Structure 1
Amino acid sequence: MLKEFKAFVARGNVLDLAVAVIIGAAFGKIVTSLTDDVLMPIIGKIFGGLDFSSYFVALAPIPSTYTGSPSDYAALKKAGVPLLGYGEFVTQAVNFVIVAFIIFLIVRSVNHATTRLERNRPEAAPAPDSAEVALLREIRDELKARPR
């Protein structure tokens, strides 16, 4: 079983996948920062608030024991108040759209590069016929050439 595992790990696909996951995690942090720190404040400003991710609707009354701000999404959520956090959902949806668009651009550029390489590749010369095929062709040609 250990030999099978070593063979599995030694295949290039596993290493490629590991690198992709690591790069994807780092890329996810960049996109999260882009949306949280750049895009969402701009979108929030357009819609009249500076912190769009804190937009929510309370689905139940706030408990009387709660001492924090009634507009603090994180504190209310921590206190167990059921909330419909549509601002956070919009933030995550924007994250997804950005990541999906960038992945689309990467796949598109790879497809274009692959197509360009295939177009510029010279046509391979046909493989020479084997001796058997050449002999069979000679026999066929001789049979055709015989008078009937």
Structure 2
Amino acid sequence: MLKDFRAFVSRGNVLDLAVAVIIGAAFGKIVTSLTDDIIMPIVGKLTGGLDFSGHFWRLGAVPADYRGSLTSYADLKKAGVPLIGYGEFATQVVNFLIVAFIIFLIVRAVSRAVATLEREKAEGPVIPAADSAEVILLREIRDELRGRAG
């Protein structure tokens, strides 16, 4: 069984997938920061200073022993109050769109690069065409004229 597991892990596609997951997790953090720290504040500013991540609808009662703010999405959620966090949802949609767009650009660039390589490979090395008789004759005339002028 250990031998089978080692063979499974040593396959190239499993290792590639592991690397992709690790890079994807790190990339996700970058996109989250981009959304939370740059894009959403701009959107909030354009909409009158609103912070979308804190927008929610409360669906249930607040526990009697709750001491936090009634306008804090994070505090109410932590206390177990049923909420619809449409602001947080909007933030996650923006995150998704950013990631999807960047992946689209990467896939498009790779596809173009692969197509270019395949086209160059299919065409083979470019061999210059032999000079025509007219070109050879014109070169001889040019060289003769240079010889007389010099």
1:41-80 deviation digits (Å, cap 9, x = unpaired): 1111222234210111111233443222111111111112
Distance 2:98 2:92 in 1: 10
2:32 is aligned to 32
1:128 is aligned to none
1:62 is aligned to 62
- DSSP-derived class of the 1:121 partner: helix
Matches within 5 A, 1:11-30: 11-30=11-30
Tell me if 1:115 matches 2:101: no
Identity %: 71
Distance 1:10 1:65 in 2: 55
Distance 1:47 1:61 in 2: 29
Count, aligned residues? 124
When the two structures are superposed, what TM-score results if normalisation uses the length of structure 2? 0.77
Tell me if 1:9 matches 2:25: no
2:83 is aligned to 83
CA RMSD of aligned residues (A): 1.5
Distance 2:33 2:122 in 1: 46
When the two structures are superposed, what TM-score results if normalisation uses the length of structure 1? 0.78
1:131 is aligned to none
Q: Which amino acid aligns with 1:40?
A: M
- DSSP-derived class of the 1:34 partner: helix
Larger deviation, residues 1-10 vs 96-105: 1-10
Q: Which runs of 4+ in 1 moved over 4 A?
A: none
- DSSP-derived class of the 1:53 partner: helix
Shift of 1:100: 0.7
Tell me if 1:97 matches 2:78: no
